[in-house]
């Protein structure tokens, strides 16, 4: 073999994979070709360990205009000539090395994926994971990531309307930064990512190509790493203003008759974008490497092909029509250069100075090996699931003390200090702002609206990957339902550890099974997705974290509901159960159990039929305008949900029964499928009629009013104390 | 302007040098030139800005919102400067703006002393000027809006970015050029949080309807 093991390691190709390349080519690859394989056969581009599993997910639905491909986002029809595409994508490894630019370019990357479909980006969400925030490095990563998201999203003028931040030791050293983007397409004008005819020109537009990000896909994202400092040059640097101009220019260019295809340059830069375009077109490709505009001198063809310089797009242009395209990009002060053309044949042929230097079959490059495995449940997991939850003692301190502590904790406290750094008003579509259960946007020119959320509890997925992922789907849908929106589609961002190990293989297999089961039960498709593997630090895999991004639809966006209690005298009603307080089983995987007892154990549960019925009843009641407020019960249990509705509503609440002896499980248990609503007393009967029809248990548990938070005889807290704990907890936990 | 208020509004390209026939010019918010160097520092050299200057010199109404306010200060059409928020963060929140002066063409339909519920989103909205300028602005009634609470109290607690005297909007001496940091256009419909912002635009519309009559 003419290449050293070190060379293979640098681009994260295994010996076996190298042999497969030689076998398929019928020869050794040239160094440049090896770089192309390293990029396209990387986990990020090639989905080697996840392709087979992802194929089992439901991806069809009546509403789907375009089925999801391996990379592109599926398009969902909303009616009124409007359709939406959305996708979530990770940028974990770059963010661990250089958090500001890693997060910023993560946002930039997902935005490009969306406008490459011909969709105008209308919303961003971000789902983040970090180690415990009392750690200096974690604070550095946290502040960097928030700063990067803020600076990129605000400058590019797309509202950042939702997301989540979760802290756990599991993510120390390997933060997760998953960015979701939603785009709007009018009149079904979906862009194609292929050429139309042989001879079509390949045009590169946008930023110059530099040395940033080389080995971003193959190096950073393909293995666990310890040497962070060395990898810094593999993190890309973003320019949001340039991307804003690029959005406008590209969307305008799609109206030109000569522009037949559009593709974004993301992971593995020109290599993946151009070669995937060729594959989709079923054509060969001639690439003239010298034509690529560079921002640095002396770049080799290898560097040009693998550069992950940001803010670049590829267009397929009909020959003879390029002048109109050049003029359009010149108007927008953007570079546009012809760098090749599609042709007959099956190879991608790279030319330097008029001489062909490599010729490689397109399909061999894009058809990365698929690794199949079955999972085996580890012994240690069975033990954890069977733990005796009741053996955890009631903590010292009063229920009120523990409630305030939990409200102020890093995972429960209000994220207001974070999201007020994001512009969530720009584009003037925001109906429900961050801080609720889901973001809601109106669609101009229509009565319709959409709701958006991201959800995943990694701890619960760790305890049971199958049920935990089904719970992630359920919660992502529940957050939509409590605003009044009907869930219509999902995207998934898988974040797992080393897929070459049996434990992670078990997690992956089970997780996809759970996702499939839940999506089929809800009858909604998964229209796009992303996989980030090899997330580890200090030798340990992270919690399996399959983040679900959900999209819901309003027929009439005015019929929505918000989280805060509204009026004195309103009745507080619990849907989804006939018991006010939770029981000991609810402690499984709960925030309370981890935060107060330092334990992650127990068996998570989900009754998916009950979940679906409960959500349907809630939505029906909202549409009939019976609901004053609605909030889903999740992290921190019912005590936290009630407290949040009181704080946000700026009004007290009184729960008419006592949590009892085992008050910790009662208040903080996280049993699924529960929703807290408040209603004007005159609407209670109508609400009960709806829950009866839907076979959903209901319990009246208290009333709204006053300026205290009261739970039976156990808790009577001034609302001001509750506000202080919840609103200021985050800043107190993350700074000195 | 088109959708909600039924007026004819058009975009003018930054590279154009002529303005055409308009009753008023609005320089909107955004991140012109990515805020490179300073917010608005480069945009103020756009070819179109000379025409805007002439339009303003002839008494034409010019409204600058957020980045537009920054551009107006950079180009000298308004005094003072917008500096980094005192807490150094970008901040996106709803504000209550107390109307100090309703005899401008931008606030003629508002009530002095009332508050307008309008959001802001900026990292550089901290209005600063030297003492002489501030005194002059205050004495001449050129301060149009201040950051307050919903009861109209103007206090340090109601100041979201460190602006001197809680200044949120000012006019020039002549009264035809106004800059405001909050975004009235983001409060023009109840569905997105409120429609108090309409009063700014309908005041302008009333003014130039009056000037035609």
Backbone angles phi, psi at A564, to 5 degrees: -75, 140
Residue B35 contacts A, CB cutoff 8 Å: yes
Q: Do A244 and B92 touch (CB under 8 A)?
A: no
On chain B, the residues whose CB falls within 8 A of the CB of A433 are 193
pLDDT at residue A219, as a whole number = 60
Return the structure tokens found at A410: 């890093």
Q: How far apart are CA A524 and CA A474, in angstroms?
A: 11
Q: How far apart are the first and last CA of chain B?
A: 21
| Closest residue in chain B to residue A160, using alpha carbons only | B92
Q: Is the pLDDT of residue A285 over 80?
A: yes
On chain A, the residues whose CB falls within 8 A of the CB of B93 are 420
Do A484 and A619 touch, CB atoms closer than 8 A?
yes
Question: Which of helix, strand or coil describes residue A472?
Answer: helix
Q: Is the pLDDT of residue A143 over 50?
A: yes
The shortest CB-CB distance from A422 to any of B30, B92, B191 is to B92
Confidence of residue B38 (pLDDT cuts 50, 70, 90): confident
Closest residue by Cα to residue A637 from A656, A677, A595, A665: A665
pLDDT, greater one: A536 or A218: A536
**Helix (H) and strand (E) counts for chain A?**
25, 28
CA of B132 to nearest chain A CA: how many angstroms apart? 33
Residue B88 contacts A, CB cutoff 8 Å: no
DSSP state of A485: P
Confidence of residue B48 (pLDDT cuts 50, 70, 90): confident
Query: Candidates 2.30.40.10, 1.10.1740.10, 1.10.3720.10, 3.30.1330.10; correct CATH number of A10-366?
Result: 3.30.1330.10
Q: Residues A610, A615, A620, CA angle at the centre, nearest 5°?
A: 125
The shortest CB-CB distance from A423 to any of B121, B189, B191 is to B121
Do A635 and A670 touch, CB atoms closer than 8 A?
yes
Q: Do B191 and A557 touch (CB under 8 A)?
A: yes
Q: Do B192 and A428 touch (CB under 8 A)?
A: yes
Backbone angles phi, psi at A618, to 5 degrees: -60, -45
Closest residue by Cα to residue A375 from A555, A499, A230, A238: A499
On chain A, the residues whose CB falls within 8 A of the CB of B3 are 444
Q: Is the pLDDT of residue A277 over 80?
A: yes
The shortest CB-CB distance from A425 to any of B30, B35, B186 is to B186
Confidence of residue A579 (pLDDT cuts 50, 70, 90): very high
DSSP state of A547: E
Do A98 and A229 touch, CB atoms closer than 8 A?
no
State the catalytic residues of A.
Answer: 44, 91
To the nearest 10 degrees (0 to 180), the angle between helices A719-734 and A399-407 is 50
- Tell me the CB-side half-sphere exposure of residue A28, using CA atoms within 13 A: 6
Q: How far apart are CA A254 and CA A183, in angstroms?
A: 15
Mutation to test the A interface, candidates B5, B14, B29, B31, most A Cβ within 10 Å: B31
Q: How far apart are CA A619 and CA A632, in angstroms?
A: 12
Dmax (CA) for chain A in angstroms is 85
Pairing of strands A284-288, A347-352: parallel
State the catalytic residues of B.
Answer: 66, 183, 185
Please, is A132 exposed, middle or buried when counting C-beta atoms within 10 Å of its C-beta (0-12, 13-18, 19+)? middle
Do A31 and A371 touch, CB atoms closer than 8 A?
no
- ipTM, 2 decimals? 0.92
Residue B73 contacts A, CB cutoff 8 Å: no
State whether CATH 3.40.50.880 applies to domain B23-212: yes
Q: Is the pLDDT of residue A654 over 80?
A: yes
pLDDT, greater one: A9 or A224: A9
Return the structure tokens found at A127: 């789902």
Return the structure tokens found at A367: 């058809």
The shortest CB-CB distance from B30 to any of A157, A420, A421 is to A157
Q: How far apart are CA B95 and CA A513, in angstroms?
A: 48
Q: Do B92 and A155 touch (CB under 8 A)?
A: no
pLDDT at residue A70, as a whole number = 44
On chain B, the residues whose CB falls within 8 A of the CB of A157 are 30-31
The shortest CB-CB distance from A442 to any of B119, B183, B191 is to B191
| Closest residue in chain B to residue A245, using alpha carbons only | B33
On chain B, the residues whose CB falls within 8 A of the CB of A155 are 31, 34-35
Q: How far apart are CA A668 and CA A506, in angstroms?
A: 30
* Mean pLDDT for all residues in chain A: 94
pLDDT at residue A231, as a whole number = 52
Q: How do residues A407-459 score in pLDDT, each as one tens digit?
A: 999 999 999 999 999 999 999 999 999 999 999 999 999 999 999 999 999 99
| Closest residue in chain A to residue B118, using alpha carbons only | A425
Residue B34 contacts A, CB cutoff 8 Å: yes
Mutation to test the A interface, candidates B118, B123, B187, B192, most A Cβ within 10 Å: B192
Q: Is the pLDDT of residue A225 over 50?
A: no
Mean pLDDT of A319-346: 97
Q: Residues A515, A518, A524, CA angle at the centre, nearest 5°?
A: 95
Q: Where are the domains of chain A?
A: 10-366, 561-736
If phi > 0 it is left, if psi is from -120 to 50 it is alpha, else beta; for residue B6 that is: left
On chain A, the residues whose CB falls within 8 A of the CB of B123 are 154
Q: How do residues A304-332 score in pLDDT, each as one tens digit?
A: 999 999 999 999 999 999 999 999 999 99
pLDDT at residue A246, as a whole number = 97
Q: How far apart are CA A245 and CA A345, in angstroms?
A: 35
Return the structure tokens found at B127: 């209005």
Q: Do A241 and B183 touch (CB under 8 A)?
A: no
| Closest residue in chain A to residue B182, using alpha carbons only | A425
Q: Do B35 and A420 touch (CB under 8 A)?
A: no
For residue A416, CA distances in Å to A143, A163, A421 come to: 14, 12, 9
Q: Is the pLDDT of residue A222 over 80?
A: no
Q: How far apart are CA A607 and CA A674, in angstroms?
A: 11
pLDDT, greater one: A603 or B33: A603
pLDDT at residue B22, as a whole number = 85
On chain A, the residues whose CB falls within 8 A of the CB of B94 are none
On chain A, the residues whose CB falls within 8 A of the CB of B193 are 425, 430-431, 433
Q: Do A442 and B35 touch (CB under 8 A)?
A: no
Chain A positions contacting chain B at CB under 8 Å are: 150-151, 154-157, 239-242, 244, 419-426, 428-431, 433, 442, 444, 557-558
Question: Which of helix, strand or coil describes residue B3?
Answer: helix
Q: How far apart are CA A36 and CA A25, in angstroms?
A: 13
Do A115 and A251 touch, CB atoms closer than 8 A?
yes
- Say how far residue B127 (Cα) sits from the centre of its chain: 12
User: What single string gives the DSSP state of each residue in A437-460?
Assistant: SSEEEE-TTSS-EEEEEEE--HHH
On chain B, the residues whose CB falls within 8 A of the CB of A240 are 31, 34
Q: Do A429 and B186 touch (CB under 8 A)?
A: no
Range list of H helices, A498-630 = 502-522, 591-597, 608-623
| Closest residue in chain B to residue A448, using alpha carbons only | B191
On chain A, the residues whose CB falls within 8 A of the CB of B35 are 155, 241
DSSP state of B189: B
User: What single string gives the DSSP state of each residue in B89-117?
Assistant: S-EEEEEEEEE----STTTTTS-TT-EEE
Residue B33 contacts A, CB cutoff 8 Å: yes
| Closest residue in chain A to residue B87, using alpha carbons only | A421
Query: Candidates 3.40.50.300, 3.40.640.10, 3.90.650.10, 3.30.420.140; correct CATH number of A561-736?
Result: 3.90.650.10
Mean pLDDT of A687-715: 97
On chain B, the residues whose CB falls within 8 A of the CB of A428 are 185-186, 188-189, 192
Q: Do A420 and B192 touch (CB under 8 A)?
A: no
For the ranges A682-696, A707-721, B19-33, the lowest mean pLDDT is seen at B19-33
Mutation to test the A interface, candidates B4, B92, B94, most A Cβ within 10 Å: B92
Mean pLDDT of A204-219: 82
| Closest residue in chain B to residue A143, using alpha carbons only | B89
Interface size A-B, in CB pairs within 8 Å, comes to: 63
Mutation to test the A interface, candidates B16, B87, B88, B121, most A Cβ within 10 Å: B121
For the ranges A208-222, A239-253, A664-678, the lowest mean pLDDT is seen at A208-222
Q: Do A242 and B34 touch (CB under 8 A)?
A: yes
Q: How far apart are CA A418 and CA A411, in angstroms?
A: 13
Residue B188 contacts A, CB cutoff 8 Å: yes
Confidence of residue A2 (pLDDT cuts 50, 70, 90): confident
Helix (H) or strand (E) holding A92: helix A92-97
Q: How far apart are CA A655 and CA A650, in angstroms?
A: 16
Dmax (CA) for chain B in angstroms is 48
The shortest CB-CB distance from B186 to any of A422, A428, A442 is to A428
Q: Is the pLDDT of residue A157 over 90?
A: yes
Closest residue by Cα to residue A294 from A203, A217, A200, A212: A212
Residue B89 contacts A, CB cutoff 8 Å: yes
Mean pLDDT of A129-139: 96
Do A514 and A470 touch, CB atoms closer than 8 A?
yes
| Closest residue in chain B to residue A332, using alpha carbons only | B15
Q: Is the pLDDT of residue A229 over 70?
A: no
CA of B129 to nearest chain A CA: how many angstroms apart? 26
Q: Do B92 and A430 touch (CB under 8 A)?
A: no
């Amino acid at each position: 073999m003419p290449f050293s093991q070190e060379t293979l390691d640098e681009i994260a190709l295994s010996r076996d994979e190298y042999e497969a390349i030689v076998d398929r080519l019928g020869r050794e690859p040239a160094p440049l070709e090896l770089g192309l394989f390293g990029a396209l056969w990387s986990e990020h581009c090639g989905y080697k360990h996840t392709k087979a599993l992802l194929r089992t997910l439901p991806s069809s639905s009546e509403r789907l205009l375009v089925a999801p491909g391996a990379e592109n986002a599926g398009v969902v029809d909303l009616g009124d000539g409007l359709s939406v595409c959305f996708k979530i994508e990770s940028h974990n490894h770059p963010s661990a090395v250089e958090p500001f630019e890693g997060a910023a370019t993560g946002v930039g990357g997902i935005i490009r994926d969306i406008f490459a479909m011909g969709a105008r980006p209308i919303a961003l969400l971000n789902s983040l994971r970090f180690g415990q925030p009392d750690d200096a490095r974690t604070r550095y990563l946290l502040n960097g990531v928030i700063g990067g998201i803020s600076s990129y999203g605000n400058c590019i003028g797309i509202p950042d309307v939702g997301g989540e931040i979760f802290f756990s030791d599991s993510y120390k050293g390997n933060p997760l930064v998953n960015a979701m983007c939603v785009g709007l397409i009018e009149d079904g004008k979906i862009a194609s990512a292929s050429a139309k005819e042989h001879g079509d020109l390949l045009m590169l537009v946008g930023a110059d190509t530099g040395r940033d990000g080389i080995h971003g896909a193959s190096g950073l994202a393909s293995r666990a790493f310890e040497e962070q400092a060395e990898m810094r040059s593999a993190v890309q640097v973003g320019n949001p203003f340039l991307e804003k101009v690029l959005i406008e220019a590209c969307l305008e260019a799609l109206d030109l008759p000569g522009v037949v295809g559009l593709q974004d340059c993301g992971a593995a830069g020109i290599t993946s974008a151009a070669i995937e375009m060729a594959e989709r077109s079923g054509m060969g490709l001639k690439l003239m490497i010298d034509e690529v505009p560079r921002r640095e001198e002396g770049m080799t063809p290898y560097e040009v092909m693998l550069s992950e310089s940001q803010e670049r797009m590829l267009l397929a242009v009909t020959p003879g029509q390029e002048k109109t395209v050049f003029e359009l990009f010149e108007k927008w002060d953007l570079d546009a250069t012809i760098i090749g053309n599609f042709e007959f044949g099956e190879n991608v042929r790279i030319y330097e100075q008029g001489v062909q230097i490599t010729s490689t079959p397109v399909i061999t490059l894009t058809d990365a090996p698929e690794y199949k495995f079955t999972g085996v449940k580890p012994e240690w997991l069975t033990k954890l699931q069977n733990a005796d939850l009741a053996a955890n003692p009631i903590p010292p301190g009063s229920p009120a003390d523990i409630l305030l502590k939990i409200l102020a904790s890093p995972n429960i406290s209000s994220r207001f200090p974070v999201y007020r750094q994001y512009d969530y008003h720009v584009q003037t579509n925001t109906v429900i702002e961050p801080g609720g259960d889901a973001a809601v946007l109106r669609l101009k020119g229509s009565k319709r609206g959409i709701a958006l959320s991201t959800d995943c509890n990694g701890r619960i997925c760790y305890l049971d990957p199958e049920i935990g992922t089904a719970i992630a789907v359920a919660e992502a849908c529940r957050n939509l339902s409590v605003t009044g929106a009907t869930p219509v589609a999902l995207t998934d961002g898988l974040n797992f550890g080393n897929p070459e190990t049996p434990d992670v293989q078990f997690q992956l297999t089970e997780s996809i099974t759970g996702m499939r089961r839940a999506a089929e039960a809800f009858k909604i498709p998964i229209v796009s997705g992303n996989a980030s593997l090899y997330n580890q630090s200090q030798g340990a895999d992270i919690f399996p974290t399959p983040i679900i991004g959900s999209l819901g639809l309003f027929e009439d966006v005015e019929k929505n509901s918000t989280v805060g209690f509204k009026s004195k005298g309103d009745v507080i009603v619990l849907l989804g159960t006939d018991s006010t307080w939770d029981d000991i089983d609810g402690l499984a995987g709960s925030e309370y159990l981890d935060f107060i007892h330092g334990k992650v154990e127990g068996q998570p549960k989900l009754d998916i039929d009950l979940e679906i019925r409960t959500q349907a009843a809630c939505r029906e009641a909202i549409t009939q305008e019976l609901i004053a407020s609605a909030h889903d019960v999740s992290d921190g249990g019912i005590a936290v949900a009630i407290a949040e509705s009181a704080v946000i509503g700026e009004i007290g609440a009184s729960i008419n029964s006592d949590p009892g002896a085992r008050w910790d499980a009662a208040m903080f248990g996280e049993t699924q499928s529960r929703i807290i609503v408040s209603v004007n007393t005159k609407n209670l009967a109508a609400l009960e009629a709806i829950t009866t029809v839907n076979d959903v248990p209901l319990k009246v548990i208290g009333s709204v009013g006053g300026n205290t938070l009261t739970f039976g005889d156990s808790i009577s807290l001034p609302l001001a104390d509750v506000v202080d704990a919840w609103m200021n907890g985050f800043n107190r936990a993350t700074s000195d | 302007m088109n959708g909600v208020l039924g007026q004819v509004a058009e975009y003018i390209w930054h590279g154009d040098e002529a303005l055409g026939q308009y009753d008023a010019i609005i320089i909107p918010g955004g991140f012109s030139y990515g805020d490179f160097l300073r917010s608005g520092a480069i945009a103020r050299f756009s070819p179109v800005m000379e025409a805007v200057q002439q339009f303003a010199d002839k008494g034409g109404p010019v409204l600058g919102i957020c980045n537009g306010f920054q551009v107006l200060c950079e180009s000298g059409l308004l005094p003072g400067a917008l500096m980094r928020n005192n807490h150094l963060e970008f901040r996106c929140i709803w504000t209550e703006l107390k109307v100090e002066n309703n005899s401008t063409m931008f606030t003629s339909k508002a009530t002095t002393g009332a508050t307008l519920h309008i959001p802001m989103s900026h990292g550089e909205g901290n209005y600063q000027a030297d003492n002489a300028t501030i005194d002059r602005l205050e004495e001449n009634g050129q301060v149009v809006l201040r950051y307050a609470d919903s009861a109209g109290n103007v206090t340090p607690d109601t100041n979201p970015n460190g602006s001197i005297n809680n200044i949120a909007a000012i006019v020039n001496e002549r009264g035809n050029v106004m800059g405001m940091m909050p975004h009235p256009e983001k409060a023009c419909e109840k569905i997105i949080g409120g429609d108090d912002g309409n009063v700014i635009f309908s005041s302008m519309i009333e003014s130039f309807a009056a000037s035609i009559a």
